[in-house]
């Protein structure tokens, strides 16, 4: 027994200090079967609301209340996708929009990783995941606008690229100035892929009068399907302000998770998050989040 105690102490003391450190607070260590939600809360004036606690949230899946297993309000790092229109019509705005996209990255968590997808006649990954802002800036400036607008293809390419993400929290910033007119995929296919992905998509549309209404509806549908939000700035300066707002909102989100009672049936499950304002807060608070998910199949 004495020998065993000596061996046990030797093993404990031999573990390096880095292995004894606790997991960083931004890691969400939960069971793989938990459903994770990232929730933005704003008041009636669209101002971000902080300071809420677990008891101020209620989650319903398929109209059934779900106990909240995990609650965090921390600045968690995000895997980001910058999906940027490179069609000919964007050329007069390109430099300022590139600067706005870079400002979005700079206002985000410094531990974030990001990739770039450019789209015109087709869609392609111009830069895979990196945390190097200088490299992102170089890639943004390296292309010359030409061609048409393969927006739906770009979204699908970016969602495929997002499968390489190292963080559980994922978001796409999609910037365009017009209507899709050359994609191989349809809007319906892009939305379905978005619903399957569990990636929040934030769309920024600087739209022309001619294409505005249809393009606007497309961007709204994409954003709403993902739990993101659509923005329609009047000019490049307003676009930059909105992108910086998105970056701040991502850092202020509440993270909630619950163990679903649903079966492994590969079907769509609706999710609703209700806010119960505490005393002293506005009595009407609005939540933005993903409104459902596909349950895993029996073999997943």
Judge whether 12 lies within some domain. Answer: no
Give whole-number Cα distances, 245 to 204, 229, 251, in Å.
12, 11, 10
67 with 86, same domain? no
Helix (H, G, I), strand (E, B) or coil at 66: strand
For 184-205, write each residue's pLDDT tens digit: 999 999 999 999 999 999 999 9
Whether 289 has a pLDDT exceeding 50, the answer reads: yes
171 with 206, same domain? yes
> Is residue 223 within 8 Å of 202, Cβ to Cβ?
yes
- Count of other CB atoms within 10 angstroms of residue 107: 15
54 with 159, same domain? no
Whether 30 has a pLDDT exceeding 50, the answer reads: no
171 with 257, same domain? no
Query: Which residue's structure tokens are 């809420």?
Result: 52
Nearest to 10 by CA among 150, 2, 91: 2
Judge whether 46 lies within some domain. Answer: yes
Residues, the chain, total? 300
Q: Note the pTM of the prediction, 2 decimals.
A: 0.88
Judge whether 7 lies within some domain. Answer: no
Whether 29 has a pLDDT exceeding 80, the answer reads: no
- Which residues form the domain of 98? 79-251
87 with 181, same domain? yes
Which two three-digit tokens encode residue 233?
A: 């700035």
> Is residue 173 within 8 Å of 101, Cβ to Cβ?
yes
What's the gap between Cα 279 and its chain centre? 31
Judge whether 202 lies within some domain. Answer: yes
For 236-249, write each residue's pLDDT tens digit: 999 999 999 999 99
210 with 280, same domain? no
Whether 19 has a pLDDT exceeding 70, the answer reads: no
Judge whether 275 lies within some domain. Answer: yes
Judge whether 59 lies within some domain. Answer: yes
Judge whether 17 lies within some domain. Answer: no
35 with 84, same domain? no
> For the chain, how far is it from start to end, CA to CA, in angstroms?
46
90 with 60, same domain? no
What proportions of the chain, in percent to the nearest 5, are helix, strand and coil? 35, 25, 40
Judge whether 94 lies within some domain. Answer: yes
114 with 43, same domain? no
84 with 167, same domain? yes
275 with 152, same domain? no
For 214-232, write each residue's pLDDT tens digit: 999 999 999 999 999 999 9
Tally the domains of the chain: 2
What is d(CA 11, CA 13) in angstroms, rounded to the nearest whole number? Answer: 6
Rounded-to-10 torsion of CA 204, 209, 211, 214? 70
195 with 122, same domain? yes
Rounded-to-10 torsion of CA 27, 172, 136, 29? 10
Q: How confident is the model at residue 261 (pLDDT cuts 50, 70, 90)?
A: confident
The percent of residues above 70 in pLDDT, for the chain, comes to 87
What CATH number has the domain bearing residue 149? 3.40.50.410
For 127-181, write each residue's pLDDT tens digit: 999 999 999 999 999 999 999 999 999 999 999 999 999 999 999 999 999 999 9
Instruction: Name 271's bridge partners.
Output: 61
């Amino acid at each position: 027994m004495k020998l065993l105690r000596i061996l046990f102490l030797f093993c404990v003391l031999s573990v390096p200090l880095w292995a004894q450190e606790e997991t960083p607070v931004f890691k969400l260590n939960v069971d793989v079967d938990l459903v994770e939600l990232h929730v933005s809360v704003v008041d009636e004036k669209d101002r971000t609301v902080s300071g809420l606690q677990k008891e101020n949230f209620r989650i319903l899946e398929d109209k059934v209340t779900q106990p909240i297993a995990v609650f965090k309000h921390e600045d968690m790092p995000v895997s980001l996708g910058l999906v940027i229109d490179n069609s000919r019509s964007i050329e007069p705005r390109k430099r300022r929009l590139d600067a706005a996209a870079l400002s979005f990255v700079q206002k985000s968590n410094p531990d974030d990783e990001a990739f770039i997808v450019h789209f015109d006649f087709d869609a392609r990954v111009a830069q895979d995941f990196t945390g190097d802002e200088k490299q992102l800036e170089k890639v943004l400036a390296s292309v010359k606008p030409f061609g048409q607008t393969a927006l739906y293809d770009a979204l699908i390419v970016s969602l495929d690229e997002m499968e390489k993400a190292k963080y559980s929290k994922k978001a796409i910033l999609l910037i365009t100035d017009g209507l899709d007119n050359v994609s191989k995929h349809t809007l319906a296919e892009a939305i379905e892929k978005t619903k399957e992905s569990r990636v929040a998509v934030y769309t920024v549309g600087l739209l022309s009068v001619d294409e505005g209404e249809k393009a606007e509806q497309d961007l709204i549908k994409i954003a709403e399907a993902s739990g993101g939000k659509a923005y329609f700035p009047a000019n490049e300066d307003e676009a930059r302000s909105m992108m910086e707002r998105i970056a701040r909102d991502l850092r202020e989100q509440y993270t909630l998770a619950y163990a679903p009672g649903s079966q492994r049936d590969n079907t769509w499950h609706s999710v609703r998050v209700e806010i119960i304002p505490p005393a002293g807060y506005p009595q009407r608070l609005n939540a933005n989040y993903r409104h459902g998910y596909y349950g895993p199949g029996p073999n997943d």
